[in-house]
Structure 1
Amino acid sequence: MQPVLSSVLLRGLGALAGDPEIASVVTDSREAGPGSLFVCIRGERVDGHDYALRALEAGAAGVVVQRPVPGVPPEKCVQVPDALDAMIRLGANYRALYSPLLAGVTGSVGKTTTKEFCYAVFSAFGKTLRTQGNQNNEIGMPNTLFRLDKSVEYAVVEMGMQGLGEIRKLTLAAKPAGAVITCIGRSHLEQLGTRENILRAKLEICEGLPQGAPLVVNGDDDYLPGAAVRPDLEKVLFAVENPDADVRALDIVSGAEGTRFTIADKAHGSLPAYIPAMGLHNVRNALSAYALATRLGLAPAAAAAALANYQTTGHRQHVVEHGGVTVIEDCYNANPDSMRAALLTLKEYPVRGRRVAVLGDMFELGAITRQAHAEVGALAARCGVDLLLTVGGAMRTGRDSAAALGANAVHCRDKDEALARLTAYCRPGDAVLVKASHGMAFETILDGFYKAVPRD
């Protein structure tokens, strides 16, 4: 963050005596220091208000609070109705100081991967800022905006939500020049109830777009092609299957090193493309990045070529070769749509041995929890996995569905049993998919497997 007067950063929120210069905005008092502004967030376990005095003692120039804090001098304090909303406003005020070409990314599945494809493309044209990890909420997105400076030419900002109205706040702060909606899936059904409500929530990203801006949407999705959007926006469809899409992928050929295909663009003709990733879902993610970049005025051939620079992050379909076994690390998050994509990737992966899936519970599915896990198990069986290991109370239903279709499926009492069975079963030449919601902490299975199986 570049230093900025508090009167500029706090516009619309309040004022600090003496108008001090702010060099950082923090929500963790341990990061407070001279020139910082500490925002007191009240969480489920920790209330930032309890640490306001500590932040000031560390040198913070001021604190943002929702209620008075005993001992905090009034001249060092700005009181607001909602600290999270204040955080977004701070991000908006800081973002207004800079003018990068900023792209917004949202959707039920594939936001972070699409953001990384966008980063690969935009980075080919100039210095690009992107959301770190999946920091896409009321705290993470402003923290992304605080990293802007005059040297940043492009920015790619991911926007997530738990309910209606949240993306609206984020997009009005970020003010993207164009946006991508990856798909309308079944994540967040527990909060929103229906996919129609999820569609409404994702379309809120349009409210931050200027007149004439491109809105790039998945033409293979069953909701997005027909979704009504502002008539002054340029709606652009990308697809693998939809023949009416503006940007399509044709002649798709996958191999162990990645996927090659032809981009068929109604506006710019045919272009060769390569991505170091597998699966049709990743082809779609790449198409969306290309479509957004070109509709924002970037050169088509260079944009298509830059897709090859994509790199996976975290445990999102990261492929590791260990001890002769191909491991598809995909345990950062999970929902029915991403489970389907991962299993289809495992099915397509070129291996000389057997295919193994280690699957855990998917969270936040509400009333469809049992049905969704049963569908995943059935899909695993139809994909021909040689062994399905399941963990978690909900995924027991997946094991039952797979077994009913004749699959070799075992439900494990915990991750330790899954690790033991996986280690005993696997041999060089096999491919293993490890996937579950992040809260299942399946990275411990990966760590244990890598320790138990010797490298080549």
Structure 2
Amino acid sequence: MEKIAADLLLKGLAPEGFADSQPIGLVTTDSREVCPGCIFVAFPGERFDGHDFAAKALEEGAAYVVLNHPVEGVPAERAVISPDSYHAMMVMGANYRGQFHPKVVGVTGSVGKTTTKQMTYAAIAGFGNTIKTEGNQNNELGLPRTMFRIGRDTEYAVVEMGMSHAGEIERLAKCARPDVGIITCIGVSHIGNLGSQENICKAKLEICAGLAEGSPLVLNGDDPFLRKAALPTHVRPVWFSLGDENADVCALDVRQEGDGMAFTLCDKNAGRYEVTIPAMGRHNVANALAAYAAATRLGLAPEGVIAGLADFEQTGMRQKIVHAGSMDVIEDCYNANPDSMKAALAMFKEYPCKRRFALLGDMLELGGMSAPAHEELGRQAAEAGLTALVTYGPEAARTARAAKDAGLADVVHAEDYRQAADALLARMAPGDALLVKASRGMALEKALALFYPVCTK
């Protein structure tokens, strides 16, 4: 974070004339990070309440503290009162971002946000100093933290925007003020909160609230909800598609090559290019098209963008291929929903190996759609060319029953991680491959921690 005058940083949060112009070099929510010349933002929590550390933060040199309410021992002239700590972070993030002028890409969508963010970063990073959202910092706390990482030498920023309720993307977009927006697709994540995919589509389109007049909005042309959506007139749609040559950017002759994908990219503005990406599945080709479209509509050269995509690296446990002894494991257990599960199974069906096995867990936060979604997953698993399916989690029990009913002979529903690992170890042999996928809360890496030591002996 570059130093910024306190009155500029707190504009719109503190009363006019409240703050002086002393330089602020850090905004933190962690009392352990407090240092002279910082602002400490107190968040109430289940285990700790940041308000309990406010007075100490001032003693340790904090210039100001941001509180939800007055705190005994904290002088009023040093306390900014904001009933919502998240709102306070967003206001300061927006004020700070306004002092700098990097080109910003905002990425949202129901599926593929993080992968598309990573691909967009790979596409852009070769053109200048670039930052991106790290980890899962895509909410009203994480996005301001990303803004605070912008500096005078930052030329580009790729910002991921997540949501669980209507209105959240609008607030994030107004804070980040992207130059280009991306919407990957409209799925069913958080449908329990939003009620329908139409409402999810409206919520994702809130990204337009942060886009200036004439800004490009990169959209999935294969998504029926985006295709029929009423787009704001101030944005310039850029459509990408797997196969539709009428789209602004499309992929033809899509094929899997080793651990990646190859395809012909057709750009109405720039021509045709042969592209390879180190990621499997048609869904990742779509993600690459979105990244390419965003980067080139910023004015970057297609050849350099494509070279960057070839160096793309996945993060965490997102479709990471682990060679465990003489078997391949595709770790994709960071997140899951019906759309990403379907895409993963489609990719896995084409994966070159002797036999295919899957360990699938619960998809969380589906509300009333959970039961039919997990049953449909079972039917998809039965059609995916699996030798055996192992499931884990209360909702995944429905997946197991549906897979059996659909004709998959070898199905095991595990009651714990050990049983899941043992079921796989008893069945798999050299040359086989395993797909592991569930929502993050299912922690399927714990089953892998039991599986790897045995299979690599």
Structure 1 length-normalised TM: 0.97
Work out whether 1:378 is the aligned partner of 2:379.
Answer: yes
- Given residue 256 of structure 1, which amino acid in structure 2 is its aligned partner? G
Indicate the residue corresponding to 2:246 in structure 1: 244
1:142-182 alpha-carbon deviations (Å, 9 max, x no partner): 00000000111111000111111111111011110011000
Change (3 A) 1:446 1:35: farther
Alpha-carbon distance, 1:325 to partner = 1.0
Indicate the residue corresponding to 1:63 in structure 2: 65
Indicate the residue corresponding to 2:389 in structure 1: 388
SS in 2 for 1:424: helix
Runs of 4+ in 1 over 6 A off after TM superposition: none
- Given residue 363 of structure 2, which amino acid in structure 1 is its aligned partner? M
Work out whether 1:9 is the aligned partner of 2:9.
Answer: yes
Work out whether 1:33 is the aligned partner of 2:35.
Answer: yes
Alpha-carbon distance, 1:17 to partner = 5.4
Which of residues 407, 419, 422 is equivalent to 1:420? 422
SS in 2 for 1:223: helix
SS in 1 for 2:226: coil
SS in 1 for 2:178: coil
Q: How does 1:166-245 map to 2 (within 5 A)?
A: 166-245=168-247
Which deviates more, 14-23 or 387-396? 14-23
Indicate the residue corresponding to 1:87 in structure 2: 89
Alpha-carbon distance, 1:81 to partner = 2.8
- Given residue 7 of structure 2, which amino acid in structure 1 is its aligned partner? S
**Whole-Å Cα distance in 1 between the matches of residues 272 and 306 of structure 2?**
10
Work out whether 1:101 is the aligned partner of 2:103.
Answer: yes
Contact 2:357/2:435 (CA < 8 Å) preserved in 1? yes
Indicate the residue corresponding to 2:167 in structure 1: 165
- Given residue 4 of structure 1, which amino acid in structure 2 is its aligned partner? I
Indicate the residue corresponding to 1:444 in structure 2: 446
**Whole-Å Cα distance in 2 between the matches of residues 256 and 376 of structure 1?**
26
Contact 2:186/2:197 (CA < 8 Å) preserved in 1? yes
- Given residue 8 of structure 2, which amino acid in structure 1 is its aligned partner? V
Count of aligned positions: 454
**Whole-Å Cα distance in 2 between the matches of residues 275 and 310 of structure 1?**
7
**Whole-Å Cα distance in 2 between the matches of residues 43 and 379 of structure 1?**
41
Indicate the residue corresponding to 1:143 in structure 2: 145
Alpha-carbon distance, 1:44 to partner = 4.5
SS in 1 for 2:359: strand
Indicate the residue corresponding to 1:349 in structure 2: 351
Contact 1:415/1:445 (CA < 8 Å) preserved in 2? yes
**Whole-Å Cα distance in 1 between the matches of residues 19 and 117 of structure 2?**
40
Indicate the residue corresponding to 1:299 in structure 2: 301
Work out whether 1:340 is the aligned partner of 2:342.
Answer: yes
**Whole-Å Cα distance in 2 between the matches of residues 64 and 126 of structure 1?**
35
1:275-299 alpha-carbon deviations (Å, 9 max, x no partner): 0011011000000000111112111
1:282-325 alpha-carbon deviations (Å, 9 max, x no partner): 00000000011111211122212221011000001111111111
Contact 1:255/1:349 (CA < 8 Å) preserved in 2? no
**Whole-Å Cα distance in 2 between the matches of residues 54 and 372 of structure 1?**
50
Contact 1:362/1:437 (CA < 8 Å) preserved in 2? yes
Contact 2:263/2:274 (CA < 8 Å) preserved in 1? yes
SS in 2 for 1:141: helix
Contact 1:190/1:365 (CA < 8 Å) preserved in 2? yes
**Whole-Å Cα distance in 1 between the matches of residues 446 and 53 of structure 2?**
33
SS in 1 for 2:375: helix
**Whole-Å Cα distance in 1 between the matches of residues 252 and 130 of structure 2?**
29
Contact 1:91/1:145 (CA < 8 Å) preserved in 2? yes
Unaligned runs of 5+ in 1: none
Alpha-carbon distance, 1:358 to partner = 0.4
**Whole-Å Cα distance in 2 between the matches of residues 215 and 416 of structure 1?**
46
Contact 1:120/1:309 (CA < 8 Å) preserved in 2? yes
SS in 2 for 1:364: coil
**Whole-Å Cα distance in 1 between the matches of residues 209 and 318 of structure 2?**
30
1:324-364 alpha-carbon deviations (Å, 9 max, x no partner): 1111111111111111111111111111x211110111111
Which of residues 149, 153, 156 is equivalent to 2:155? 153
- Given residue 37 of structure 1, which amino acid in structure 2 is its aligned partner? I
**Whole-Å Cα distance in 1 between the matches of residues 427 and 34 of structure 2?**
50
Q: Sequence identity of aligned pairs in percent? A: 52
**Whole-Å Cα distance in 1 between the matches of residues 385 and 265 of structure 2?**
31
**Whole-Å Cα distance in 1 between the matches of residues 221 and 55 of structure 2?**
52
- Given residue 305 of structure 2, which amino acid in structure 1 is its aligned partner? A
1:384-420 alpha-carbon deviations (Å, 9 max, x no partner): 1111100111010000010111212111111221012
**Whole-Å Cα distance in 2 between the matches of residues 443 and 35 of structure 1?**
41
SS in 2 for 1:30: helix
Alpha-carbon distance, 1:376 to partner = 0.8
Contact 1:247/1:291 (CA < 8 Å) preserved in 2? yes
SS in 2 for 1:329: strand
